[in-house]
Amino acid sequence: MKETSDSWSAKHSAELYGIEEWGSGYFGINHAGNVEVRAPGEGAADVSVDLTHIIDGLQQRGLEMPVLLRIENLVDSRISILNESFAEAIATTGYQGVYRGAFPIKVNQQSHIVEEIARFGERYNHGLEAGSKAELMIAMSTLKNLESLIICNGYKDAEFIDLGLQARKLGFKCIFVLETVAEVKLVIERSRLLGVDPILGVRLKLSTKVEGHWAEDSGDRSLFGLTTNHLIEVMDQLRSADLLHCLELLHFHLGSQIPNIRSIRAGVLEACRYYIAMVGEGAPLSYIDLGGGLAIDYDGTSSVSGHSRNYSVQEYCVDVVEALAQQLNAHNLPHPTIVTESGRATVAHTSVLLFNVLDVGHFEPGPVPSELPEESHEQVSNLWFTLKAINVNKLQESYNDVIYYRDQVRDCFFSGEVSLRERAFAENLCFAGLQRIVALLPEMKRIPPELEQLPEQLADIYYGNFSVFQSLPDSWAINQVFPVMPIHRLDEKPNRQATIADLTCDCDGKLDSFAGPEGETRTLSLHSVKEGEEYYLGVFLVGAYQETLGDLHNLFGDTNVASVRINTDGSVDFVHELHGDSIADVLSYVEYDPQQMFRQFRVAAEQAVRDGRINVSERQSMLSAYSESLRGYTYFER
């Protein structure tokens, strides 16, 4: 039985948008029909806070939409879940080693996020991974716990190596992961010059292949890592330099967002064979680093799609620990410290992009008169009678006729046989016919392929106050699906199907792929926008990569940012507020000088006064408005 508006409830919305699945317990819908954030309680029940109440608090503090909202509690929770799941797996299996996490700074380089991870991770000795000199400097200045690891990946020049060796002198467990044979000579030279033995690792290029968006980052053709021949060459060079004793870590990375647990287990088993062989060669390995790959469920399907995964964090940890123990026990080898560089699984849940809808574009007909106007053109008449004859038994034929006669009217308009008003009338008839066909599609036993896309083609366009390129670059670049839904009115049945366009005036600046209860869909169920009322949408799970990868398409800058902490009594602390880029800020990013621009505009305004086009008062008003705009937000302001 179809749900009516009167019988619709928050439960139906939860099922429609899948929030209980992809939300991982952190997000839900309350009895008021609003999305709530559920902060894990400390030894007690979760604490829930209405997202609309947080928006009210943001606006009272001068932070208008769009806003990137970070929830500190979720960073804390994700680090705890990862570390405690590994601890439980280690205890259950009798594994003799320990776990050490290292957050890859590249996943979210924002200072507040990295500082939170260092603070919340300190009790677990959770470290950081650095892939550049700048990221290494962040790690050295942020970590306080000397038991936490600093994993140095990426290509390294002398300055990079010197920084890491200085970190060693300071007491940090800073590990250089060798990516190429060429790096070995440089590490040897710099360590001798500074008189510090490095801690070294090697990154292997495994043959194991994985599924998902980043499948090409695995297997023999992966971009990074040492081949078997290169590995032998590296160990021989270290042995010759009397530094083989520094080789303590084996590293591999199968790819980001790995959807299938079997691929992870296969990769661990293959890496174990290398580990055993390297120990046999005299390398005193004591760490095995799985890199990243721990996936999250973006679409709530718990499948092996590129947007999901078929395992939990707990299953991931158990499979990793069991695979390591099984292989190493067979060779009576000590169990190494397990290292993972989980970034997406650590921070994705912590951030939500909030924005308001500015306008809606409809593809619906206006009123259709009951009688055909007299003296209508023949092709307009044909379209009229086609509309009247539409029925479920011949929808494909009706569709063909509607499109044919519409095109005939357009041809007649081009040749001057049809007037502008007649063409407008015909276009309205066409929309009425297509909407009638869409309404009858559910009654068909089998929908023709040509008609399957018709509902999408007639869906509304909701214009959102945000930039895809700035805030959701992965949705544009790699077709990543993020959970998108209204954050209020969820006790009302959504009555529109829509795609979402941003402010960039670009055909790629849109969201037209959404997670649905039966898989990916091309439209999203939304509510009609009420005049005079804001309609807010949220894009969830955006804490990984999106802030770092964003660009300045159309010079839309960084959004307003707020970090909140939910207290056990349900109150909210606004612990961090950052106003987004002003127009002057983004102009300076692309090498304009806002002050020089203002001076040039002032010269133009003064010339207009001399020429009599404006008076002095108008000049002052224009200069004030120009100056105020330079200081203003790059996004739409009401």
pLDDT given for residue 170 in this prediction: 92
pLDDT given for residue 246 in this prediction: 97
E strand intervals along 267-372: 287-289, 337-340, 351-361
Q: Is 312 exposed, middle or buried (0-12, 13-18, 19+ CB in 10 A)?
A: middle
Return the axis-axis angle of helices 182-194 and 158-169, rounded to nearest 10°.
50
d(CA 584, CA 400): 53
pLDDT given for residue 43 in this prediction: 63
Q: Is 288 exposed, middle or buried (0-12, 13-18, 19+ CB in 10 A)?
A: buried
User: Can you give the pTM of this predicted structure?
Assistant: 0.91
Instruction: Give tens-digit pLDDT for 316-371.
Output: 999 999 999 999 999 999 999 999 999 999 999 999 999 999 999 998 889 998 88
pLDDT given for residue 215 in this prediction: 58
Buried/exposed 506-536: b ≥16 CB within 10 Å, e otherwise = eeebbbbbbbbeeeebebbbbbebeeeebbb
pLDDT given for residue 221 in this prediction: 54
d(CA 98, CA 311): 22
The helix/strand/coil state of 337 is strand
d(CA 291, CA 440): 52
Long-range own/partner contacts, residues 235-241 (CB < 8 A, 24 or more apart): 235/278, 235/281, 235/282, 235/283, 237/181, 237/184, 237/185, 237/188, 238/184, 238/188, 238/200, 239/282, 241/188
Instruction: Give tens-digit pLDDT for 30-69.
Output: 999 999 999 987 666 789 999 999 999 999 999 999 999 9
Question: What residues in the chain have per-residue pLDDT under 50?
Answer: 1
Contacts of 493 (CB under 8 A, 6+ apart): 3, 4, 5, 8, 12
pLDDT given for residue 536 in this prediction: 98
441-443-446-452 Cα dihedral, nearest 10 degrees: 10
pLDDT given for residue 432 in this prediction: 94
Buried/exposed 116-137: b ≥16 CB within 10 Å, e otherwise = bbbbbbbebbbbbbbbbbebbe
d(CA 146, CA 118): 12
